[in-house]
Amino acid sequence: MSAPDPKTPDDDPLVTQARLRRERHERWLREGDMSIGRRLAQIGVLGWIFVAPTLAGLFIGRWLDARHGTGIFWSAPLMLLGLCLGGWSAWKWMNSR
């Protein structure tokens, strides 16, 4: 029987997170804080990422309901689907930065 291989430092999540924190800190020292205008622009983009799929789902649902005379049969689920898609997209966008 052979002994299990010891973990390398690259496999340790603590080392990985410490390395990421150091890289972020070095980038902050190089680039500094974001301007207020850039922060406001990011908030605006985040809003559109969240709202656009919701409105698209609502628009398509209303169109289908008007075409088939089904009340809100399509509007509600497609709006909810758009809301979920927008929330997922916003989450992915925020975590990719």
Residue 20 included in any domain: no
- What's the token pair of residue 23? 């890289």
Query: Average pLDDT of 29-58?
Result: 89
What are the start-end ranges of the H helices in 32-74?
36-68
Residue 30 included in any domain: no
Q: Is the pLDDT of residue 7 over 90?
A: no
Residue 56 included in any domain: yes
Residue 31 included in any domain: no
Q: Is the pLDDT of residue 37 over 90?
A: no
Q: Write out pLDDT tens, residues 52-84.
A: 999 999 999 999 999 999 999 999 999 999 999
Confidence of residue 2 (pLDDT cuts 50, 70, 90): low
pLDDT at 33: 79
Range of the domain at 49: 36-95
The total number of structural domains in the chain stands at: 1
